[in-house]
Structure 1
């Protein structure tokens, strides 16, 4: 007969132990309010597990006690392995796509091996139960009266940390805000713990998402702009100065508001009617009637640009628009969310596959839908499995005839597949069209970065062998040589067809090269990488043959690509309905990261640390940080509303 309540203490201690291991491994620290909440929520969790394994006969309880340890240890292990690969956390919704992820079983196996230093300690509670607990613990069935008392006690223990939250502030990104309103996975993991974050993810997946911190206030007007002195009289504008109009579509929001009965749609009409639009500018229509090749390049970054190694990338990056402060934030669903941001100008919704979810929605501002309505032929390709991330349903909805490996794109079977081959076999399908727009999602830059198991890296190994880098860095560059050669062939084909001077190439990455360790990235950068901002700095290529180079120093991101391209092509679009901003407009910059950090022309805000860095010589305007946080919360919220409510169909219904 074992100690009567030792098993209760064991389960509570196991949860606390796993939370602390997870926190140390992922966040490298136990300092912070998150440690307190991890402990407080671990107590009722351990108590509940004890109760569940104490309601049956002793033999069943004995087996059940071992099984539940496996069940509650597994999520910690899975998150650690997933984070080691993608540098973000796994949502429960993404588990539905696990069969697709198994295509990369070799990468998963490598990640498991690399994570053994933390996975082995995580198995300690399981081993302890098998070796000592089965004999040393008591597994008696709880009497009904004691069971009822235990359940009541568990409820009280659960509400204790909730009461602490209520008494310690309810502002933006506080534990209270993350628990009740704002679904921000990274901040939640850090400030509430893994267990609570996963529980909230499950709750939101089943019952829907909260309304974040929307309070019905109108959107803030250009909080990122410089304060302008008031003028008693309107300024006199010289006759030779062009007058620019706002990039908006005539939407009767007053009528929509008066006739709307749905509360969410009513809030959306009120919100978007007051959003500050971006203005036309001297670049409006610069690319009007040009062809467009739009590329999302797997794990591409500015580290891949080299005058000798990747001369075409170097040419495109330096002879077109040169964006010196472009960022490519990583989002929750890796490549798919990265594509979604670049192709729609919207922020992905946390906890779901936003691109797949958007497949039933009307997306009038994707380049495919905008240009196809003007008579362009519009096609898209991906040189890996055509249905991966459900692209076979999301990409046709953007206005493209879509092909991938398995539904029409015939290329050599390898891992990863060749970008060069994809360009070679697809250009004949459109190069002679009068006007064309094509979209490519490449794959040659995919991890793992080694010369064994990566066909592209091995193929180009000789070209990087003499470089003074580690194998991972050399393999990464070798993979991007394939992208460089693909672009070289593309330009050659455009030249041969006589359309190079009227074709625009726009290219950004889906995410930073997370297949490289921080040490590897620092090796390419030549210094240790700052991980909240600098890690996501990247390259946006926007080039047309013969154009004069234009240097752009304002901070910008992949969220800004769609409004920027729409303005350059002189398209009719409504900038109020997009979350990004035309980079070339006079609108103040705003770079938004998935963890709710941000960069403007005045400051940088590190949300996990709650730290503000002033970038100007004077003090920040009063409540500046608070107002930007509010603006960003609204963008996350209303972007998810657009996805959930098919909002564009309500305000801009398709003509057919």
Structure 2
């Protein structure tokens, strides 16, 4: 018994390490509500644990301790970061996104609201591992040949089993149901982690990133040619065609703006624009890997951003986008400039906006936006009224009419805290309406509402300034939310979004077009998305898009709308298909399974073509 105890204690740290590897994935899946009974995932986890544990037989006591601490810390950190990323973006991080990590560290305060105590549970296995190494006594020394044999056997066994697993995922004609296609492309990150496991996902993601090669084949370009020939945009004139021809356009991307904030008392300017303008009441903003930057790209080009590769802002900023809205407006004699009350290098806008065709991007330095001494970058934000006022001044000083201005607001950004001095007045007014924290809403929820009220007061000032300069009657203002407020904590989200019947409804954001000269108020009830903004505006301003590759459509036409999400999920007026779960919500009972599968295939094909267009810079050669 003493000998058995001696052997057991000598290798107890290996057992703790082995079970810790299993624990990380089990705890991870439990945290995210994923099934822990997936046989393939369990199989991969066991043999991953065997493989990593086997090397410890070759090590001395101190080396084992160092190896275990380093590897367990890395695995705990992997789970911690992926869990936090999922809590924030509802998807998982990929190594291909490494180029936007610097953006995260600039706005690192965003993540603090998603930090919860249970996330630190991933580091708990380190405690027994360290303790057993400190108190187990002297490590029993085995014959070196025996240790080599044990390690070799376990490595070969585990590697063979893992190889057989990775190379034998089941095929399916339907890509949406094929685990093999899912493993080899990781096209749906959440589905991949759920069905294949975090370890399989991480290994494959690293392999795809390291071995990534952009192939610009003639066959690829021929496929794109044929696709555009078959699916090229065809304009259909309607009662709205050209009604704003020759007018100025101010397009405003509104940070984290949701439909829940539009209220006659809280946001009277937005409410006025909604009830007296063209309101798209069933509008959705899908979120992609670069969030706001991708929403900009979609709204300005009506094309699908980078999904399978790195961020568009850093991997494809030199591409050619001939259908981008600023380019099209400049071709008909407009000036086109963009304005942002933050630094222009964020998301590489200083280059990307010129690629879109803007003449100049004005940032907070160009606009001389003053900051109080207590201003904390990416914590406090420049008030939107300051941005709008300065932007209009710059336009009137440097541009000729007609003009197209693109404003990127920031007031609605996280964090939603009382310490943000720029929210002070709007927060006070919000409290007058809803009471102090705890009466109707928490502090976080109140500050989110106040942040959007700040946008509203900025719009009020913009309309006043346009009136003073005599430009209001000849100017169209279009506002839209870039994405839902994913920076809110779970508790604040539940407080504010109380009427959601289905998960996808949280992606609903405003899209409103207003000008005082509109004769009739219009409400569009059909499903629209960020993809529809560009072709809708082109129709209103009589810009011809015939033959262009456009993912969206004129939302004022009779064409059917389709929202395409990053994970290949989709929504139209008849159904919502969740590609991650493989489930369907039929909004129209008459839609058939064949019709759903047909849309699935269309979404897969359109995303594949769009990714090929980006990687080949297809339009550079054509233009």
Query: TM-score scaled by structure 2?
Result: 0.88
Cα distance per residue 1:195-223 (max 9 Å; x no partner): 22232322222222799xxxxxxxxxxxx
* Post-superposition offset of 1:629: 0.9
CA contact (8 A) 2:214 2:616 kept: no
Q: Whole-Å Cα distance in 1 between the matches of residues 140 and 544 of structure 2?
A: 72
Whole-Å separation in 2 of the counterparts to 1:334 and 1:170: 29
Secondary structure of the structure 1 residue equivalent to 2:503: coil
State the Cα deviation string for residues 73-125 of structure 1 (Å, max 9, x = none): 1111112223333443323233333333223344444443xx22232x21122
Determine whether 1:642 maps to 2:603.
no
Match of 2:599 among 612, 617, 628: 628
Report if the CA contact (8 A) 2:235-2:546 is conserved.
no
**Range with bigger deviation, 303-312 or 46-55:** 46-55
Instruction: Give the 5 Å matches for 1:433-444.
Output: 433-444=400-411
Report the alpha carbon displacement of residue 169 of structure 1 after superposing the two structures with TM.
Answer: 7.9
Aligned residue for 2:576?
604
**Does 2:482 align with 1:481?**
no
Match of 1:104 in 2: 107
Aligned with 2:49 (options 26, 46, 49): 46
Distance 1:336 1:409, change over 3 A: farther
Q: Matched residue pairs, number?
A: 595
Contact in 2 for aligned 1:605/1:611 (Cα 8 Å): yes
Give, in whole Å, the separation in 1 of the partners of 2:159 and 2:247: 64
Contact 1:61/1:139 (<8 A) preserved: no
Distance in 2 separating the partners of 1:264 and 1:64: 46
- Alpha carbons 2:275, 2:521 under 8 Å: kept: yes
Q: Relative to 1, partners in 2 of residues 1:180 and 1:489: Cα closer, same or farther, differing over 3 Å?
A: same
In the other structure, the counterpart of 2:369 is: 410
1:360 to 302, 311, 318: 318
Residues 365 and 562, structure 1, Cα contact 8 Å, conserved in 2: no
Q: Distance in 2 between matches of 1:52 and 1:649?
A: 51
Residue 256 of structure 1 is matched in structure 2 by: none
Give the deviation of 1:419 after TM superposition. Answer: 0.9
Alignment correspondent of 2:22: 16
1:156 aligns with 2:157: no
Cα distance in 2 for residues equivalent to 1:267 and 1:156: 38
1:288 aligns with 2:229: no
476-485 or 397-406: which moved more? Answer: 397-406
Q: Which moved more, 1:198-207 or 1:9-18?
A: 9-18
Q: Which residue of 1 aligns with 2:3?
A: none
| Equivalent position of 2:187 in the other structure | 183
- Output one character per residue of 1:360-390: Cα deviation in whole Å (capped at 9) or x when no partner: 0111122111112222111111111221111
* Whole-angstrom distance in 2 between the partners of 1:594 and 1:139: 54
Q: Is the 8 A contact 1:368 1:399 kept in 2?
A: yes
Shift of 1:534: 0.9
Deviation, 1:12, is: 4.1
2:561–2:573 CA contact under 8 A, matched in 1: yes
Provide closer, same or farther for how the CA distance between residues 543 and 199 of structure 1 changes in structure 2, counting only shifts above 3 A.
Answer: farther
| Aligned-residue RMSD, C-alpha | 2.7
Match of 1:322 in 2: 279
1:84 pairs with 2:87: yes
In 2, distance between residues paired with 1:138 and 1:87? 47
- In the alignment, the residues of structure 2 paired with residue 99 and residue 566 of structure 1 have an alpha-carbon distance, to the nearest angstrom, of 35
Match of 2:484 among 507, 512, 521: 512
Q: Summarize deviations over 1:125-168 as a string: whole Å, max 9, x none.
A: 21221112555587977744444433321222213433552278
Out of 32, 35, 39, the residue aligned to residue 30 of structure 1 is 35
Q: Are residues 135 and 644 of structure 1, via their aligned partners in 2, closer, same or farther at CA, if it must alter by over 3 Å?
A: farther
Report deviation, 1:621. 3.7
User: Which whole-Å CA distance do the structure 2 matches of 1:337 and 1:281 have between them?
Assistant: 29
The answer for the alignment partner of 1:343 in structure 2 is: 300
Q: Does the 8 Å CA contact 2:35/2:194 hold for their aligned counterparts?
A: no
Residue 533 to residue 310, structure 1, CA distance change in 2 (3 Å): same
Aligned counterpart, 2:206: 202
Whether 1:297 aligns to 2:301 is no
Q: Work out the CA distance in 2 between the residues paired with 1:291 and 1:495.
A: 14
1:617 CA drift (Å): 4.4
**In structure 2, distance between residues paired with 1:182 and 1:80:** 18
Q: What does the per-residue CA deviation read over 1:565-614, in whole Å, with 9 as the maximum and x for residues that have no partner?
A: 22222213246512222222222221112222212232221222222222
Is 1:450 equivalent to 2:425 in the alignment? no
Larger mean CA deviation between 398-407 and 623-632 belongs to 398-407
Q: Quick one: distance in 1 between partners of 2:214 and 2:170?
A: 17
Change (3 A) 1:41 1:98: same
SS of the residue corresponding to residue 487 of structure 2 reads: coil
* 3-state DSSP of counterpart to 2:338: strand
User: How much does 1:476 deviate?
Assistant: 0.9
Partner of 1:557: 529
Corresponding residue for residue 272 of structure 1? 228
Distance 1:379 1:105, change over 3 A: same
Is 2:562–2:572's contact at 8 Å kept on the other side of the alignment? yes
Work out whether residues 457 and 476 of structure 1, in 8 Å CA contact, stay in contact via their aligned partners in 2: no
Given that 1:328 and 1:557 are in contact with CA atoms closer than 8 Å, whether structure 2 keeps it comes out as yes
Any gaps of 5 or more consecutive residues in structure 1? 212-259
1:566 aligns with 2:567: no
User: Do residues 68 (structure 1) and 68 (structure 2) align?
Assistant: no
Q: Does 468-477 or 344-353 show the bigger shift?
A: 344-353
Aligned partners of 2:30 and 2:36 also within 8 Å: no
2:354 alignment partner, one of 379, 396, 408 = 396
Which of 484, 497, 513 aligns to 1:542? It is 513
- Residues 1:650 and 1:185: Cα distance change in structure 2 (over 3 Å): same
How many Å apart are 1:309 and its aligned residue?
Answer: 1.8
Q: Give the 3-state SS of the residue equivalent to 2:555 in structure 1.
A: coil
- 1:491-512 Cα distance to aligned partner (Å, 9 max, x none): 1222222222222212212210
- More moved, 352-361 vs 475-484: 352-361
Hey, what's the Cα distance between the residues in 1 that align with 2:316 and 2:217?
A: 24
The answer to whether the Cα contact below 8 Å between 2:232 and 2:546 also exists between their aligned partners in 1 is: no
Whether the aligned pair in 2 keeps the contact of 1:62 and 1:134 (CA below 8 Å) is no
> Do the aligned partners of 1:278 and 1:585 also contact (CA within 8 Å) in 2?
no
In the TM superposition, what whole-angstrom CA distance separates every residue of 1:25-48 from its partner, at most 9, and x where no partner exists? 22x24267xx43432222232233
Q: Which moved more, 1:3-12 or 1:556-565?
A: 3-12
1:579 is the counterpart of 2:555: no
TM-score by length of 1: 0.84
